[in-house]
Amino acid sequence: MNINEVIIEERMRVDLGDIDALANSIREFGLIQPLILSRTEGKLVAGGRRYAALKRIGVTELEHAKHYLWNYETDGVRLKAIELEENIRRKDLSWQEQVRGKQQLLETMQRIYGPPSGGRPKAGTDGGFGVAKLAAMLGESVGGVSQDLQVAEAIKQFPTLAGAETKGAALGQLRVFGAVAQMTLSAKLAPKSVDQRSWTLYRQDFRTESVVIPDESVDLVWTDLPYGADVDQMSAHAGASQVASFDDSKLSVLNMLESIAKESYRVLKPDRYAVFCFGFVTYTELVFELTRAGFNVNPVPFVWAKNTKSGENPNSRYCNSYEPLLIAAKGSPVFIRPGQPNLVSIPVEQGKLQAVQKPITLVERFLLDMCSAGATVVDWCAGTGTTGVAAHNCKMRSILFEKDQSMAALARARLESLP
């Protein structure tokens, strides 16, 4: 039958999407799934996008079994139900299935046409089949397809990437793996002895008795506590890179606050400061434990304006654009740089290695305000080692604890690559 004889009534799907991509696919492989037409009227029951794509590539005559199949249902209501069911019940491929499918399609096409021969891509398949032709077939950008192929190949080498919630998260992790490899290479090119290092990293919980820092031997405690708000699961961080998950429940944070407070007070020299990044859900308990340990706590938090707009429900809550830090004093310390405001505006760093990673310049701000060169800084929850990097930049020494082995490995690679 002539393609223009097909009766097209009002249909559920209005946005047909990228018809060119589907047309390219039909041109290359033929119509894999025929249209469904009602036998009584010749009305389109299912396949609106396929119909539009056939017209796009210039098909004028539809052949039975090749282009369409008959449906013998005569009840118009039931015919409408068939159309709705096809569109509503369809399931999109997961991002893992999409990238793997593109890789397999490229490999299949190269078995048919051979790999690209080089030079400017041609419109047909006479020059072999490469990424540019795959992108043209799918109706996507060459850069986007190349990125998907990169992720698919990376999953073969790092299977844990397939567990990422989104493709963006997988790309973030892949970038982190690349950063670690680059930092490790830099460290190998310029190795340092233990005595030359400005940092000491313990890959364990700070409460483990195998490492004991001497009493009153530290000039500053600076640590980024978990916030107790399941921040690792927050949708605002879904696209950020995550090397490893961490326990950010309120209970896990409360369980460490007493030890954090006591150990901080014990290791600090007289008249020294301790600084804690914290979440407001544990504010009361943190102030209580620090005070009980002997600290004088300024109840007014220091404010870091991070110039972002994160939040789980922007329709009902203001977006989070700042984070608080709590300042505790042992004795009566004074600032190296007096007269500083309790508000600082520092943008979040691009290319973070972890979703909640603090800017190096933020940590340096406190080190320079509260310590002199040669001081020793302790971080009980080192994460990716930012405190160690900041201390190195400020010509200070750092003692770091990180119990998560993945993040500790990343911190070590990062610190070993320091000049």
Residue 179 lies in a domain: no
If asked whether residues 252 and 371 sit together in one domain, one would say: yes
Residue 171 lies in a domain: no
Domain CATH number, residue 299: 3.40.50.150
Q: What does the pLDDT read at residue 110?
A: 85
Domain closes at, from 104, 132, 157? 157
If asked whether residues 319 and 397 sit together in one domain, one would say: yes
- pLDDT > 70? residue 232: no
Q: What does the pLDDT read at residue 226?
A: 86
Using alpha carbons, select from 384, 398, 375 the residue that is nearest to residue 354. 384
If asked whether residues 136 and 43 sit together in one domain, one would say: no
- Can you tell me the distance from the alpha carbon of 326 to that of 147, in angstroms, rounded to the nearest whole number? 42
If asked whether residues 199 and 281 sit together in one domain, one would say: yes
What total of structural domains would you count in the chain? 3
| 343: Cβ contacts below 8 Å, ≥ 6 apart | 302, 303, 305
Average model confidence (pLDDT) across the chain? 83
If asked whether residues 277 and 363 sit together in one domain, one would say: yes
Residue 181 lies in a domain: no
Q: Could you list the residue range(s) of the whole structural domain that residue 151 is in?
A: 95-157
Q: What does the pLDDT read at residue 186?
A: 57
Domain closes at, from 88, 104, 139? 88
pLDDT confidence bin for 373, thresholds 50/70/90:
very high
Report, as an integer, the average pLDDT of 120-131.
Answer: 60
Domain CATH number, residue 52: 3.90.1530.30
If asked whether residues 284 and 236 sit together in one domain, one would say: yes
Q: Do residues 388 and 411 make contact, with C-beta atoms less than 8 angstroms apart?
A: yes
Report, as an integer, the average pLDDT of 79-95.
Answer: 67
pLDDT confidence bin for 244, thresholds 50/70/90:
very low
Residue 151 lies in a domain: yes
Using alpha carbons, select from 312, 310, 364 the residue that is nearest to residue 337. 364
- Can you tell me the distance from the alpha carbon of 210 to that of 214, in angstroms, rounded to the nearest whole number? 13
Residue whose entry in the numeric block shows the structure tokens 């021969």: 117
If asked whether residues 243 and 384 sit together in one domain, one would say: yes
Using alpha carbons, select from 224, 322, 343, 344 the residue that is nearest to residue 275. 224
pLDDT confidence bin for 242, thresholds 50/70/90:
very low
| 122: Cβ contacts below 8 Å, ≥ 6 apart | none
Residue 172 lies in a domain: no
3-state secondary structure the chain: CEHHHCECCCCCCCCCCCHHHHHHHHHHHCCCCCEEEECCCCEEEECHHHHHHHHHCCCCECCECCCEEEECCCCHHHHHHHHHHHHHCCCCCCHHHHHHHHHHHHHHHHHHHCCCCCCCCCCCCCCCCCHHHHHHHHCCCHHHHHHHHHHHHHHHHCHHHHHCCCHHHHHHHHHHHHHHHHHHHHHHHCCCCHHHCCEEEECCCCCCCCCCCCCCCEEEEEEECCCCCCHHHCHHHCCCCCCCCCCCCHHHHHHHHHHHHHHHHHHEEEEEEEEEECCHHHHHHHHHHHHHHCCEEEEEEEEEEEEEEECCCCCCCCCEEEEEEEEEEECCCCCCCCCCCCEEECCCCCCCCCCCCCCHHHHHHHHHHHCCCCCEEEECCCCCCHHHHHHHHCCCEEEEECCCHHHHHHHHHHHHCCC
- Can you tell me the distance from the alpha carbon of 298 to that of 328, in angstroms, rounded to the nearest whole number? 6
If asked whether residues 244 and 147 sit together in one domain, one would say: no
- Percentage of the chain surpassing pLDDT 70? 81
If asked whether residues 143 and 250 sit together in one domain, one would say: no
Q: What does the pLDDT read at residue 243?
A: 45
284 to each of 23, 254, 288, 343, how far by Cα in Å?
Answer: 62, 11, 6, 21
- pLDDT > 50? residue 21: yes
User: Cα dihedral sign for 241, 243, 247, 253?
Assistant: negative
| 19: Cβ contacts below 8 Å, ≥ 6 apart | 49, 52, 53, 56
Residue 314 lies in a domain: yes
pTM over 0.85: no
Residue 59 lies in a domain: yes
pLDDT confidence bin for 237, thresholds 50/70/90:
very low
If asked whether residues 378 and 244 sit together in one domain, one would say: yes
Residue 169 lies in a domain: no
Domain closes at, from 88, 113, 140? 88
If asked whether residues 274 and 249 sit together in one domain, one would say: yes
Report, as an integer, the average pLDDT of 287-303.
Answer: 97
If asked whether residues 350 and 239 sit together in one domain, one would say: yes
Neighbouring C-beta atoms of residue 189, cutoff 10 Å: 8
